[in-house]
Amino acid sequence: MTKVPLLDVAGVLGWLRREPLAEVIASLATQLEADFRTWERFEKLARVAAHSQSGVIELMPISNGTEYAFKYVNGHPSNPLKQLQTVTAFGVLADVGTGYPVFAAEMTVLTALRTAATSAVAARYLARPDSKVMAFIGAGSQAEFQAVALRTELGVNSIRVWDVDPAAIKKFVQNARGLGFEVTVAPSAAAATHGADLITTCTADKQKAIVLTDENVTPGVHLNAIGGDCPGKTELDPAILDRASVFVEFEPQTRVEGEIQSKPESFEVTELWRVITSAAPGRSSDDQITLFDSVGFAIEDYSALVYARNQVAGTELVTWLDLVASPADPKDLFSFVIGAELLPVDDQTFRRY
């Protein structure tokens, strides 16, 4: 039998309860940065999306010629009304040489980790290193992970938060204060962002919205815009983009899904990997407004799967999935299926007439 190692939900939780979350995110950020440095080796494709009135279901594939990865992920903003999560996911790593899967994992939690780690990498290159205050517009499932990532990267411990949902704010405040953050609940987005050095927008509604207006963004700010991630879904006043230096993951995908979907093809952006490899500048002055228009890209899922596999390999956290049929004779799947003894066939049966 060929069984596939599986990091299931219990395995992920067991892993994260034995390793400090900040260390996991920091190490994952290191893995991400290393993979971004090999960007040109990857065969890249914008995710394949099936949209409906309820949400979206997506496949996110990528390969570097040695390993292939994909993630299945959904985004359904009304799910919490049904006591379901907005986003769920799972992913697979495969060996390019054989096509066989070599690792599978839940990716609802892993996606939150890799999204936070990606924001940390972006902040490393684009935010002012003397940043002191971060603002969150949106206090949903991503917010705490983002806060841990930015504190780990930049040492920022002061948070201002605003959300239209009081329950989300209550949840975030409880969790963030439990992690040692100084948290101020703001009465509006404008109040949350006033004087902030870092702004993260992470709302969930599938619509073109303006949760952050141009006057809320002052010189020197770095924005991680992570909520707009599909056609027809944005968070920022388009005027902000005109004042900012805009950085993206994979431009062809972000043109369709990101904040820049409101802009013409001629609108200039820089892919983040070019900054990481010094092929393009990142932040060039303290007054510059930098914007990471992040929609999530498959290379990040590849990094998360590789990192998770390496961390849990050989431990009791891994279970085994009987996913691939393995007949004794790889050319005789039929006998494997019927499970019966077959009479031997004399070679003369196949003689030519």
Rounded Cα–Cα distance for residues 36 and 34 (Å): 5
3-class DSSP state of 10 = helix
**Cα–Cα dist 64/90, whole Å:** 20
Distance CA 255, CA 203 (A): 19
Give the single-character DSSP code of 11: H
Distance CA 199, CA 133 (A): 9
Q: Where are the alpha helices (DSSP H) in 40-183?
A: 108-126, 143-154, 166-178
Q: Which amino acid would we find at residue 303?
A: S
> Are 278 and 83 within 8 A, CB to CB?
no
Give the torsion sign (CA, 148, 154, 155, 156).
negative
Q: Cα Rg for the chain, rounded, in angstroms?
A: 23
CB 16 within 8 A of CB 24: yes
Residue 108 burial by Cβ neighbours in a 10 Å radius (0-12, 13-18, 19+): middle
Instruction: Quote the distance between the C-alpha of residue 184 and its chain's center.
Output: 27
Could you give the CA distance from residue 12 to residue 6 in angstroms, rounded to a whole number? 10
Question: Does the annotation count 293 as an active-site position?
Answer: no
Q: How far apart are CA 208 and CA 194, in angstroms?
A: 23
Of the candidates 233, 230, 282, the residue with the CA atom closest to the CA atom of residue 253:
230
Per the residue annotation, which of 35, 229, 237, 293 is the catalytic one?
229
Sign of torsion over alpha carbons 236, 76, 123, 152: positive
Catalytic residues: 229
